[in-house]
Amino acid sequence: MSLRIVAVSGSLRGASSNSALMLAAVRVAPPGMTVEVFDAIADLPHFNPDLDIEPAPPAVAAWRARIRGADGLLISCPEYARGIPGAFKNALDWLVSDPAGFAKPIALWNASPRAVAAPEALRLVLSTMSGRVVEAASLTLPLLGRSWTPEELASDPSIAALLRASLQSLTQAVEPPTD
Ligand SMILES: Cc1cc2nc3c(=O)[nH]c(=O)nc-3n(C[C@H](O)[C@H](O)[C@H](O)COP(=O)(O)O)c2cc1C
């Protein structure tokens, strides 16, 4: 059975390097792993506990279902003003009331060595939500300064090798089913 990894970019920008990384992961996924990109965080309403009731807004239900169905997660998120971009923090806030759904291994990718505060903040937020950041699967790549397409990332031998090794480490962190 193939492992299901859900990949989410924290950037809404069309030519986003973080989103390109998520699409490159789809291309370099090792055998036995399927990487699915969730690219609809912009559709989520602003988080409001008053709206966090059943039935959840449709965009929220779709987001939660994708996360629940994943064996592991892949996140690549830019840094804005030394923090987590609002749209991505908003997406995470919608998962807080369902922490069991989020208790899975997470590979954290970072497209910029300059970004230090956002990855640190993300580690704190994700661990608070029962997420398990797998350090062996986490990567920082120097992608700023040019615009990479997913195809270019996946066909660059050294980048593709790093991405593949990260996904292998994530595979190892996924616990085998107990039954
Ligand atoms: C509003 C804004 C604030 C930013 N703040 C920071 C920052 O505090 N630290 C940093 O390293 N980069 C910062 N950046 C640069 C982005 O992190 C960088 O452009 C990144 O590549 C964006 O990711 P993307 O290509 O996936 O959209 C900022 C960019 C914007 C647009």
Q: Which residue's C-alpha comes closest to atom 12 of ligand 1?
A: 79
CB distance 92 to 41 below 8 Å: no
Residue 179 included in any domain: no
Residue 178 included in any domain: no
**Rounded CA separation 75/22 (Å):** 8
Residue 83 Cβ inside 6 Å of ligand 1? The answer reads no
**Rounded CA separation 30/26 (Å):** 9
Extended beta strands in the chain, E state: 3-9, 33-38, 72-76, 105-110, 132-133, 139-140
Q: How do residues 9-61 score in pLDDT, each as one tens digit?
A: 999 999 999 999 999 999 999 999 999 999 999 999 999 999 999 999 999 99
Count the domains in the chain. Answer: 1
DSSP H or E stretch at residue 122: helix 117-128
Q: How do residues 107-120 score in pLDDT, each as one tens digit?
A: 999 999 999 999 99
Q: In terms of residue numbers, what domain contains 102?
A: 3-173
Residue 110 Cβ inside 6 Å of ligand 1? The answer reads no
How far is ligand 1, taken at its centre, from the CA of residue 142, in Å? 13
Residue 145 included in any domain: yes
Residue 17 included in any domain: yes
CATH of the domain at 53: 3.40.50.360
Residue 75 included in any domain: yes
Q: How do residues 87-138 score in pLDDT, each as one tens digit?
A: 999 999 999 997 667 889 999 999 999 999 999 999 999 999 999 999 999 9
Residue 45 included in any domain: yes
How far is ligand 1, taken at its centre, from the CA of residue 172, in Å? 31
Residue 82 Cβ inside 6 Å of ligand 1? The answer reads yes
Q: Positive or negative CA dihedral for 89, 92, 97, 100?
A: negative
Which pTM does this prediction carry?
0.96
Residue 102 included in any domain: yes
How far is ligand 1, taken at its centre, from the CA of residue 112, in Å? 9
Measured from the CA of 18, which atom of ligand 1 is nearest? 26
Of the candidates 179, 156, 153, the one whose C-alpha atom is nearest the C-alpha of residue 24 is 153
Sequence-distant (≥ 6) Cβ neighbours of residue 44 within 8 angstroms: 57, 59, 60, 63, 90, 91, 94
Measured from the CA of 144, which atom of ligand 1 is nearest? 21
